[in-house]
Amino acid sequence: MTSRLRSALTTGVATTALLALSACGGIAADAPTDASLEDFCTASAAIDRTAGEFAAGLAEAGTPADVSEQVRAGFEIYVDALDDKGDEAYDEARSSLAVPEDDVEDGDAFIAYMTETCERYFADLAPDGSDVPAP
């Protein structure tokens, strides 16, 4: 896994504390619930985009079928909050989000799931320990 990808995934934990809650019915509400790990992790690693493009990519991919309700709720919060940032660079947008206290656990659950799942996914692509280029 590249250091850039690892940074993108692991800094998400800090991002959770800064998520913004979007109104229900944002772009994530209709996101698929049967994404492949490849689609989910590829979308999660595509960080060289605007916040809106990153959110749209995650919403298009959706979440894998095995996620808990809490992880799915966190996914929707994260995607909709980033979508609200529109043309702002993803790296800048994720550092300026805020989340109501009631939603922090859901956001933390999503970030933890995304980080752990995608780190394992990309590590499995490069079992010899070499870096796998980020999409």
pTM strictly above 0.75: yes
Residues 1/123, Cβ–Cβ less than 8 Å: yes
The CA distance from 121 to 124, in Å, is 5
Residue 41 lies in a domain: yes
- The total of structural domains in the chain comes to 1
DSSP, residue by residue, 21-73: PPPTTSTTTT--S---HHHHHHHHH--SSBHHHHHHHHHHH---TT--HHHHH
Tens place of pLDDT for every residue, the chain, 135 residues?
555 555 555 444 444 434 444 345 799 999 999 999 999 999 999 889 999 999 999 999 999 999 999 999 999 999 999 999 999 999 899 888 877 789 989 999 999 999 999 999 999 887 665 555 554
Residue 87 lies in a domain: yes
Residue 27 lies in a domain: no
Residues of the domain holding 51 = 3-22+33-125
Question: What CA–CA distances, in Å, run from 25 to 22, 38, 44, 130?
Answer: 8, 26, 21, 41
